[in-house]
Chain A
């Protein structure tokens, strides 16, 4: 064969090979256009559970579907579909981040891939590799280079900076109001439900009947239970002074142990340690309805003169207070469980709403240090009212004048991330 014929066969083969290959394999090996500037990096401000992928969004992306494939660096070639979405569905501006922690806009895509979704055994430091593919009408049109990254845990959650600033502000106000409390007296508005405590205990003393006090169905780790124990301390001090009888049935054994100490201390402070009985506090049950049934039975049999329900309650609230009402007891309730407030309102003589539960201990103790903190609660409410009012007006005005950036910034500041 001549040299020219050989060259002709060679070039023919060269040009025909891609078509032949496609016919044999059913797919093309032609290199797809590259998705440029794609990066994989550790997701900032998280606990190390995610990898962030970013690449530029193009105006011509309409109708494009992106698929993200992932694998661990050590695995051979087991690419796994990690995410799939339509163009512009996951642009960076849709990432739930405030403006002070995230500056990327709608001109790029940002996708968060949980490392556990790639490999269940992946942990902080495991190197993962990603490949982004773009499809139009089901056909691949572009793909990225292989991007590898590992996640890391971060030491500060910057999106929560607004919350931290608020905590610092509240703490500063807390110490300021305390220092002012030492200088001059504070006016505290009357709370009818708490003023009625004396009346209830006096009635119990005259009738020679016991007082029941329930601390609710939360454990010692709840703030409302601690607030309830503060009230218990003051109530039991008055009970000791009046030489009446208090019974504190418990749902939680830890709360019972703490309440025992609280009641004992109150009797000592009232100068009546001899009147204290260790069985004033007793455990009933850690089951909601067993507790309610047991306490209902006691109220029904003993017909107490007064019942206090202070703390966190659920469905048992009405079961307890209706029986107390039918037994003719004066009933005073306080809860921060807003779903139970209507039941307490309708079946109790006095109800302390929400934050009054937290204020009650300080109100009854009349200690300047504790009373000063009530002022802080009022300042907090004033701050919230002004924020709602001014924020509402500002957002409405900004919406009218199309100041979208200002609206987002303002909303970011009052959002919990």
Chain B
């Protein structure tokens, strides 16, 4: 049993991991054929897994309705939405438009789904404002530096800020606010980003080795 649960999956992970790593250094056609086969398998597995996801979604909301838990009415909308899209989808064979005319599935996407997704994305603007307000409270030296940098960036990106800068400091002729913004974005910001990215790359490489050599196997249940 241990062989089936532990050793065979670990052997598969190690062999597939090393072969996939090797494809980066082997440009031969066999290498790209191997990668393409793996991608096809992933698509097939994803297809089956999506069915699992769908069953999980419907079962979760069915239980909520059956037990009349708080907010069970929202779960009804899951079923209504599901059938309202799936049935037209089957009728129109998955096509969103036919001869330039929207099918009912296309109508649902254009006039229901797209506005709702856009609304969610638009909400982000208000959240950014509230987050900015919270982060601009100066509690430490670091917060003060953050505030100054952010203030200059905001100032420099609005016409009023540029006019203000020119009126107050333009006579010095040292540099415009655009130059300062450019320096902040290209020097300290890029330096910090690169530091983080180097750390991420090393972390990802080491984690990959842990997975390939079977040191990290939390994702398959321990033993």
Q: State whether the Cβ of B171 lies closer than 8 Å to any Cβ in chain A.
A: no
Q: Beyond A253-B50, A253-B52, A315-B121, is A357–B218 a contact (Cβ under 8 Å)?
A: no
Q: If the complex has contacts A174-B209, A254-B45, A384-B202, are A370 and B216 also in contact, measured as CB distance less than 8 A?
A: yes
Q: Given A226-B216, A355-B202, A170–B57 Cβ distance below 8 Å?
A: no
Q: Once the chains bind, are B202 and A253 in contact (CB under 8 Å)?
A: no
- Across-interface contacts of A376 in B (CB, < 8 A): 206
> In the bound complex, do residue A380 and residue B202 qualify as a contact, i.e. CB atoms below 8 Å apart?
yes
For chain A, the bracket of interface size reads 35 or more
Chain B minimum-CB-distance residue to A220:
B219
A131-139, A142-150, A285-293 - the one binding chain B: A285-293
Q: Given A48-B29, A370-B215, check contact A253 B196 (CB 8 Å).
A: no
Majority-rule SS of B interface residues: helix
- A window 199-236: CB within 8 A of B: 219-221, 223-224, 226-227, 229-230, 233
Minimum CB–CB distance from B188 to chain A (whole Å) comes to 14
Kindly state whether residue A282 has any CB partner on chain B within 8 Å.
yes
Q: When the two chains form the complex, which single residue of B27, B46, B53 contacts A153, counting CB atoms closer than 8 Å?
A: B27
Q: Provide the B39-52 mask, 1 if CB < 8 A to any CB of A, else 0.
A: 00010011001111
Q: Does B68 contact A (CB under 8 A)?
A: no
CB pair A262–B117 under 8 Å, yes or no, is no
Asked whether, in the complex, the Cβ of A157 is within 8 Å of the Cβ of B27, the reply is yes
**How far is B27's CA from A45's CA once the two chains are assembled, in angstroms?**
7
Is there contact, CB below 8 Å, between B127 and A153? no
Bound: A287/B63 CA distance, A: 23
When A230-B219, A253-B52, A318-B124 are in contact, do A153 and B28 touch as well, CB less than 8 Å? Answer: yes
Q: Indicate whether A41 reaches chain B with its CB closer than 8 angstroms.
A: no
CB of B219 within 8 A of CB of A258, answer yes
The reply to whether the CB of A80 lies closer than 8 angstroms to some CB of chain B is no
Which residues on B sit within 8 Å (CB–CB) of A338?
Answer: 193, 196-197, 200
Contact A319–B210 (Cβ < 8 Å)? no
User: Do A261 and B221 have beta carbons less than 8 Å apart?
Assistant: yes
Decide: B24 and A358 in contact? CB cutoff 8 A.
Answer: no
Cα A253 to Cα B53 in complex, Å, equals 5
Q: Residues of B at under 8 Å CB distance from A?
A: 21, 24-29, 31-32, 42, 45-46, 49-54, 56-57, 59-60, 63, 70-71, 74, 116-117, 120-121, 123-124, 127-128, 130-132, 134-135, 193, 196-200, 202-211, 213, 215-216, 218-222
